[in-house]
Amino acid sequence: IPLGAITAVTGVSGSGKSTLVTDTLYRAVAERLQGGSGKPYLGETVGRHRSLVGWEALAGVVLVDQSPIEKSPRSNPVTYVGAFDAIRARFAATPLARARGLKPSHFSFNVAGGRCETCRGDGHEKVEMQFLADVFVTCADCAGLRFSRSALEITQGGRTIAEVLRLTVDEALTHFAGVPEIGRRLWPLQSVGLGYLRLGQPATTLSGGEAQRLKIARELRAGGRRKGHVLYVMDEPSVGLHAEDVARLLRILQDLVERGNTVVMVEHHLDLVARADHVIDLGPGGGEAGGRLVVQGTPAEVAAVPESVTGTFLRTRLTGSRVAAAGGGVGTGESEGAGGGVRAGMRASVGVSVSAPTRPTPTTCPGPPTRPARPTRPARPARRTVRT
């Protein structure tokens, strides 16, 4: 796995991608850098492996997966990226707030003085039913706005704090256009395609893909403070993205790499795989038929291997590249849109040797255990699925 590059780990479902990337690589690096498992609160252990080499060049490791960011409905996008503190300070700086002695804490629904004390900042009250499910009704005092009356009497730019939290990220960037300390915290959300989220949307309502992109946004903001050499492990970051957002995501990943970091992602989206610097294809099948390295190299090298299911579909994306036909060699050139291989000047890498004592290692990769994949329709190659 080359450092300072984008590596895509591919393969059919059940081929061992998550086992390699999350269970083994991420947890093994985290154990060495942090002195424990990457997720100790879940009781997860490091995947079995013979060795891990090259990890000393890393300064940190970050897992960006689809797990929920928070389990509390009080958490939201604006607090997650650290923009709410600047917004509350903006309200506290208004003339009326200063005259009344209000502080930034008075514009938070999590603490006394800022929250509605009737519902304690929830915006609703729970009515317990003896033999039925509990019923939640809108708070009569704050009308579901969650804030105290004193906080709601203060406006900034013609909006109350509750109205600001109802703005989308795109709308908030316009509203706070002249406030750089807020704009630079909200911009990463827009850059990962989350401009439609409302600032105060409860974190519990976000999908797995949205939660993952929210984590990427926070890492973008933190990237300015990091000194590089961080390993970012991602689990299908393109889930739920439009084609334009995929292109935007690619630019973000490239930006992380240009800052001296490394990206390793489990990915199925062919556009991202084709633009990766390095591809690791596992398989050839799923379950007991998987878990082996089929091929690794540049996208063009993977596309030239007939045994690779990913390579079969990847060939259609590498038009114009010098990918030899089945049985031939691999050309050294790359297409304009394909990944350019390992970036110039990179020599270091991090590697993990995974043990499989119950399964003999074949000298050559066997063919797919089931029927081969059906031919790709030229009109919509990216929407085809592989059945095993």
pLDDT at residue 385, rounded to an integer: 39
HEC letters along the chain: CECCCEEEEECCCCCCHHHHHHHHHHHHHHHHHHCCCCCHHHCCCCCCCCEEECHHHCCEEEEECCCCCCCCCCCCHHHHCCCHHHHHHHHHCCHHHHHCCCCHHHHCCCCCCCECCCCCCCCEEEECCCCCCCEEEECCCCCCCCECHHHHCCCECCECHHHHHCCEHHHHHHHCCCCHHHHHHHHHHHHCCCCCCECCCCHHHCCHHHHHHHHHHHHHHHHCCCCCCEEEEEECCCCCCCHHHHHHHHHHHHHHHHCCCEEEEECCCHHHHHCCCEEEEEECCCHHHCCEEEEEECHHHHHCCCCCHHHHHHHHHCCCCCECCCCCCECCCCCCCCCCCCCCCCCCECEEECCCCCCCCCCCCCCCCCCCCCCCCCCCHHHCCCCC
Q: What is the domain-level CATH number for residue 365?
A: 3.40.50.300
Q: What angle do CA 19, 22, 27 make, to 5 degrees?
A: 115
Comparing 225 with 150, the larger pLDDT belongs to 150
Mean pLDDT calculated for residue range 157-174: 96
- Residue at 148 is within a domain: yes
Interval 306-358: pLDDT, tens: 889 999 889 888 864 444 433 333 222 333 334 444 444 444 676 655 544 44
Is 60 exceeded by the pLDDT of residue 137?
yes
**pLDDT number for residue 220:** 79
Question: Residues 32, 238, 69, 180: is their CA dihedral positive or negative?
Answer: positive
* Tokens of residue 376, six digits: 């790709």
Residue 152 has pLDDT above 70, yes or no: yes
Please check the confidence at residue 247 and state whether its pLDDT lies above 50: yes
Of 156, 175, 204, which residue is a domain's last? Answer: 204
Q: What percent of the chain has pLDDT over 90?
A: 43
Give a yes or no: residue 388 inside a domain: no
In angstroms, the CA 217 to CA 119 distance is 32
Same domain, 152 and 89: yes
Clarify whether residues 45 and 88 are in a common domain: no
| Other Cβ atoms within 10 Å of 335 Cβ, number | 18
- Spatial separation of the C-alpha atoms in residues 289 and 255, rounded to whole Å: 37
Predicted local confidence at residue 324, as pLDDT: 40
Do 99 and 174 fall within a single domain? yes
**Residue 5: alpha-carbon gap to chain centroid:** 17
Domain count of the fold of the chain: 2
Flag whether pLDDT at 233 surpasses 90: yes
Instruction: Indicate whether 255 pLDDT > 70.
Output: yes
Range scoring the smallest mean pLDDT among 13-27, 106-120, 283-297, 365-379: 365-379
Say whether pLDDT at 243 is over 70. yes
Q: What residue numbers bound the domain in which 106 lies?
A: 77-204
Domain CATH code at residue 135: 1.20.1580.10
Chain mean pLDDT for the chain: 81
Same domain? For 88 and 127 the reply is: yes
Tell me the pLDDT band of 131, cut-offs 50, 70 and 90: confident
Which position has the higher pLDDT, 337 or 107?
A: 107
- pLDDT tops 50 at residue 290: yes
Phi then psi for residue 10, to 5 deg, are -125, 175
End residue of a domain, out of 135, 170, 204: 204
Give the range among 114-123, 144-153, 247-256, 360-369 with minimum mean pLDDT: 360-369
- 360 confidence band (pLDDT: 50, 70, 90): very low
> Does position 371 have pLDDT exceeding 60, yes or no?
no
In a domain, 59, yes or no: yes
- Statement to judge: residues 107 and 193 lie in one domain: yes
> For residue 246, how many other CB atoms are within 10 A of its CB?
16
Question: How confident is residue 285, by pLDDT bands cut at 50, 70 and 90?
Answer: confident
* Same-domain status, 291 and 368: yes
Per-residue pLDDT band at 43 (split at 50, 70, 90): low
* Whether the model pTM is above 0.95: no
Query: What sign does the CA torsion over 195, 73, 87, 185 have?
Result: negative
Boundary residue ending a domain (173, 204, 235): 204
